[in-house]
A and B are shown apart, each in its own frame.
Chain A
Amino acid sequence: MTDRAGVFARILELIEPLNPKKVPLTENTSFAGDMEMDSLTVMDLVASMEDEWDIMIPLNMLPDLETIGQVADAVAGLVAKKG
C-alpha cells in the first residue's frame, strides 16, 4: 500500500517508538516543535523511511519537512516518482 493514506499510517508506526511522551500524532504535528525531536533522531527516522520505501530523502530536504503531513506528502511523491 503506497497511496498517501497508507504512507501516512506507516509513518505513524515508524514514529511511535520515538515518541515516548505520547504526543498526539496528526497531519500537523511537528517533529522539532511538538515532539521535541533532536536533529539526530529526525535523521535516523528519515533513514528508516528511506529503507521502508526504498527511496532517497536527501538531508537538505529536511528544513522544509516540519510536520508529519509534509513528510507524508514528500514520501508519497518520491514513491510515485519511483513508479
Chain B
Amino acid sequence: MPNLPVTDLLAKYDPLIAEHAGLLSTGIRDPFGIVMDKVLSPTEAIIKGQHTILLGTYNYMGMTFDPDVIASGQAAIRDFGAGTTGSRVLNGTYQTHKECEDALKDFYGMSHAMVFSTGYQANLGMVSTLAGKGDFIILDADSHASIYDGCKMSNADIVRFRHNDAADLEKRLKRLPAEAGKLVVLEGVYSMLGDVAPLPELVAIAKAHGCMVLVDEAHGMGFFGEHGRGVYEEQGVADDVDFVVGTFSKSVGTVGGFCVSNHPKFEILRLVCRPYTFTASLPPAVVASAATSIRKLMTAHAKRDRLWEATRRLHGGLKSRGFKLATDTPESAIVSVLMPDQETTALMWSTLINLGVYVNMSRPPATPAGVFLLRCSICALHSNEQIDIVLGKFEQAAQMVNLALHEPA
C-alpha cells in the first residue's frame, strides 16, 4: 500500500515565517539572530566584527567574569567533571549542588532550597506541582511565559488578574470557593516594562483570602532589599511569602533556577516535581560558580549602588532626550523604551546594533498586547562613559529612523 501524503506540521507557522521574512526583506538585521563572536566583558562584545556595548543581557551585577566565580567553576570542572549525566534524585547531586543550595539558604535566610536546571523549569515545576486538580492558580496578566506554562501543565483552574491591580485581584479572589487551595503567583519586577509590583497590597489581599503566595524574583535578586533578596524583601513582605523563585541567569551570572521556602514539607517536592526530577542536573562548574557568586552578592553593596546610579543615568538621559519610557521613574534595572509599531522598533533596533549598541527588541506576545519595546537592562559594570555613548547613539538612531521624540516635561 502506498504511503499517505504527509501533512506538514510546520505549515501552521507559515504566517510567522512570512512576517519574519518580510521584516528582513527591508534590509534590517535579524533581531533574533545575533551571534556574539567574542565576549570581552559583561558589558562589551564583538558582533560581526564590531565592538558593541551590551545593554540587554540581564547581567545586572556583572558576575559572569568575576575572577572568584570563574575560579570556582574551573576547580569544579577539574575535580567533578564536565557534567553529572543524571537527575538530582539519582546520580546527579554532587557536593557542588549541595553547596549551591546551602549558599541559597544563607542568602535568603530560609530553611529549604531546591536548584533546578533553568529558571524556566523552576517556575514550570513549582507552579505545576503546588497546584493540582481542584486548586486555583491566580496569576498576574503580565506573568512570564514560564508561569503561564506552569499553569498549563498543572491540572488547576487558572484565574488571571489585571497587571499589578490589587482591586482586580481581590474581585477575582472573591469569586473563588473559600475552602479551595489557592496559589497567587507574583513577580517582584516585571521584565518587559521593568515595573515593580505593589507587593504589600497584593500579598495582603492574597493572605486575606487564604492563598499561598509565590513570588518570582528573577529580576530583583542581587540589588533590591537589605540583603539583596529582592523586591519582596525591600517592600517588607518576607513573612507572608511562602515561596520565592529565582534564577542564576541574571544577577548570579550563570544558568539555573531555584525555589527557596520555609515550608516544613518542602523537601517532598524533590520527588514529585517533574521538571526537577526528570531532567539532568546542572554541571558541577555551573553550580560551583553560582554558589560563589551568590555568596559574593550577599555583601555587594557598592555594586548595588553603582547599578542604581547607572540605571538613573540611562533612564534620566533617555527621558530628557524625549524618548517615551515604560516607567516614569527607574523602578528596576530594566529601562524600556516604548516604540510606536513593529516596523519602527525593528528599524531602530537594527540601527542601534549597527551603531554598536545591543538592546532587546520585544513585541507581543512577550509584551502586553500592542506594546513594542526596545528594552535596556543595565549592569553594575557599565561606566558613565558607556552610558553616555549609548545615550548619544539612541539620539543618533532616532534621527536616522525619523522616530518622533517628545518635548521633555
Contacts and interface: CB of A to CB of B under 8 A. Distances in A.
Contact of B158 (A40, A41, A51, A60): A60
B115 to A, nearest CB: 29
Contacts of B141: 43-44, 47
| Interface residue tally on B, bucketed by range | 10 to 19
Nearest to A42: B369
Interface string A36-80: 001111011001001100111011100000000000000000000
B159 A56 contact: yes
Contacts of A39: 365
B155 to A, nearest CB: 8
Contacts of B152: 60
A56 B365 contact: no
Contacts of A58: 136, 157-159
Tell me the interface secondary structure of chain A in the complex. Answer: helix
B172 A50 contact: yes
Interface string B151-180: 110001111101000000001100110000
Contacts, number: 39
A59 B175 contact: no
B369 A40 contact: yes
Contact of A54 (B160, B175, B369): B175
A55 B175 CA distance: 7
A56 B160 contact: no
B364 interface: yes
Interface in B116-137: 136
A59 B369 contact: no
A43 B160 contact: yes
Contacts of B157: 56, 58, 60
Interface string B354-376: 00000000001100110000000
Contacts of A41: 369
Interface in B353-409: 364-365, 368-369
Interface of B: 136, 141, 151-152, 156-160, 162, 171-172, 175-176, 364-365, 368-369
